[in-house]
Structure 1
Amino acid sequence: MNPEEIIDTFYAGSPALRALLLTHSSLVADKARQAAIRSGLDADLRFIHEAAMLHDIGIIHTNAPGILCEGAEPYIRHGVIGRDMLDSLGLHAHALVCERHTGSGLTAEDIISRNLPLPHRDLCPISIEEKAICYADKFFSKSGDPTKEKTLEQVRAEMARFGEMSLARFDAMHSIFGN
């Protein structure tokens, strides 16, 4: 399976967004792979690469002009949109990564209490591969300089803005994947 070919299927008419997505996803894939190796756990590195390259595929259908997204959906929905896109191709495990990488994961309680336009179920990473990608994704933004890696302190501050549990979930991932 070639993730770039799948991206091309959906992004052929959006070359600038495609380039941004590939830059971001490549950085996330490299960091996730390194994190998984560092953890010493038995992770599927090929799957990590593929799924990390595809984790944000749903952004094309969202409305986030600051990062070249001209769709109609709220950006927070990019993960569930990406899941639908990859499910339609039979890539069910990859699709779950899309759905479960937002923030440090979102619980049903988070979704309901914050009135987010998402399914009322837990959308948290479960497998080691999902967690490695979710963790790595926090260090790179698609806005500003997408190649600049955030510091651990910056990531922790961002996670803390979404509450103690969000930060605790990130810290748990950092205890597995951090330096």
Structure 2
Amino acid sequence: MSVDVDAILKAHYGNGSEALEVLLTHSRCVADKALAVAHRVAHLNPDLRFIEEASMLHDIGMVRTWAPGIGCRGEAPYIRHGVIGAEMLLEAGLPRHARVCERHTGAGLSAREIMDADLPLPHRDLQPETLEEKIICYADKFFSKNPDTLTVEKPMDKVRRLMARYGDTQLERFEAMASLFG
């Protein structure tokens, strides 16, 4: 059974908003990268339809955050977009897609990282676990939501530098994914 991604997004974003355009462009780039990665690891039998759907929905929660530079005027801090998106998709009856939302921030976040940084997130592990979660998390790191560079894929060295800014653990997790998906 496939998911009607367009209907889900329309229900939360309406038509033609700046936030929707940013989301669609970013998510399409992530989906294309994720599918390319999935084809490189075809021997691991990734679920391609799920990867495409979940890639298109992984940032759905951004609409309820405060990020005016990308057209989002919600009340929550942006770092909560993943857990908010998970709540939205759980309400839609999509628990597997919801897990992708909440587990794609950085290279995933441990409960310890969340508590140590006093992040406004649940105090539990939010790290990608399944192959598909890891593929989408990895692919997401190559694209920003900056409206000026939405479709520009970051080179690997830049992604590594960005991940390193968040500490050795984040970089190590990303490197493990890069090694698997290289």
Give TM class, smaller chain.
Answer: over 0.9
Match for 1:64 among 56, 62, 67?
A: 67
Paired residue type of 1:74: P
Which is worse superposed, 39-48 or 71-80?
39-48
Q: Does 2:41 correspond to 1:31?
A: no
CA shift, 1:13, in A, is 5.9
Give the aligned partner of residue 171 of structure 2. Answer: 167
Which is worse superposed, 5-14 or 146-155?
5-14
TM, length-normalised to structure 2: 0.95
1:49-108: CA deviation from partner (whole Å, max 9, x where unpaired): 000000000000000112211111000000000000000010000000000000000000
Kindly report which structure 2 residues correspond to 1:138-157, keeping only aligned pairs within 5 A, or say none: 138-143=141-146, 144-157=148-161
In 2, the alpha carbon distance for the partners of 1:4 and 1:159 equals: 31
TM, length-normalised to structure 1: 0.97
In 1, the alpha carbon distance for the partners of 2:57 and 2:4 equals: 10
RMSD: 0.9
Kindly report which structure 2 residues correspond to 1:11-160, keeping only aligned pairs within 5 A, or say none: 11-12=13-14, 15-40=17-42, 41-143=44-146, 144-160=148-164
Unaligned runs of 5+ in 2: none
CA shift, 1:39, in A, is 1.9
Unaligned runs of 5+ in 1: none
Paired residue type of 1:174: A
**Shift >6 Å, 4+ stretches:** none
Identity of aligned residues (%): 56
